[in-house]
Structure 1
């Protein structure tokens, strides 16, 4: 700690600083902050705020295409466009059943919410929630296999 006598303090006030070093006061910077300071410059330090990193998942083009097929399939079901959904893979998922019986299987489905968790090659891993016309909610988790722009197989497990 620096202590000045009263006479010294009065003398210090009467004499201007001429080339005398001014003590610097350092304040702790907030987290994620870079402080740039030049010791030869008397200006206050510049502060640059660095935003936390953002996470963005970038899928290669084939991964986007296979996921988009499954998304389009459920979009068609939500729009009640069962013919489009049939052509996007419903035909293969019906396992030999007719279009009418497959489409009728969605008669009590109000809407479907799909979450694509990931892709690996031609496999799309999803979570699915299907609201029924009676208000109940059915949830599923599993995967779809896509080839040639259509769903060729599924492995889904009902959770509730």
Structure 2
């Protein structure tokens, strides 16, 4: 089957795609649209250090949902969930504390799923740092059994 492509969409008007979500103990929860086509889900990242109003249009493909969920957890600072979704494998034997501390200077991350082929998810990633700079990456994640098992990412800027 050929690779399918999806992209991030920027909200043009308040409420265009996002639905309401109830915070859990002060933690921002993603809003999920109910108006997207039946084969997509849309998740809006929480407002961490004033990110742009970007939504993720994720294909209804479990491997892509795993990558989206990983970055959603990182944006919510829910590092235990991100660790379980693949951070443990990406840490390459490092400790949870060391891996989570690696995100200390990241305000938010915006991931765009470019395509999916089998268990490989091709993405573009922008990560806003606490100093205001933006780091961009492109590459792929390998997903197996609902967990990211590997990554091949290249920093572009």
- Tell me the residue number matched to 2:110: 113
Superposed CA deviations along residues 91-119 of structure 1, whole A, max 9, x for unmatched, are 00000000000000000000000000000
TM-score, normalised via structure 1 length: 0.62
1:76 and 1:84, CA in 2 relative to 1: closer, same or farther beyond 3 A?
A: same
The structure with more strand, counted as a fraction of residues: 2
The structure with more helix, counted as a fraction of residues: 1
Indicate yes or no: 2:133 matched with 1:136: yes
Does structure 2 conserve the Cα–Cα contact (< 8 Å) formed by 1:122 and 1:145? yes
Consecutive unaligned residues of structure 1, counting only runs of 5 or more, are: 1-55
Q: 1:63, CA displacement in angstroms?
A: 6.5
**SS state at 1:74 partner:** helix
Indicate yes or no: 2:153 matched with 1:156: yes
Does structure 2 conserve the Cα–Cα contact (< 8 Å) formed by 1:63 and 1:122? no
Q: 1:127, CA displacement in angstroms?
A: 0.1
Superposed CA deviations along residues 31-61 of structure 1, whole A, max 9, x for unmatched, are xxxxxxxxxxxxxxxxxxxxxxxxx8x68xx
Question: In the TM superposition, what are the counterparts of 1:22-37 in structure 2 within 5 Å?
Answer: none
Aligned residues: 103
Indicate yes or no: 2:83 matched with 1:89: no
TM-score, normalised via structure 2 length: 0.63
* Inter-partner Cα distance in structure 2 for 1:159 and 1:64: 27
Quote the RMSD (CA, aligned, Å).
1.9
**SS state at 2:61 partner:** helix
- Tell me the residue number matched to 1:104: 101
Displacement over 3 Å in runs of 4+? none
Of the two, which has the highest radius of gyration? 1
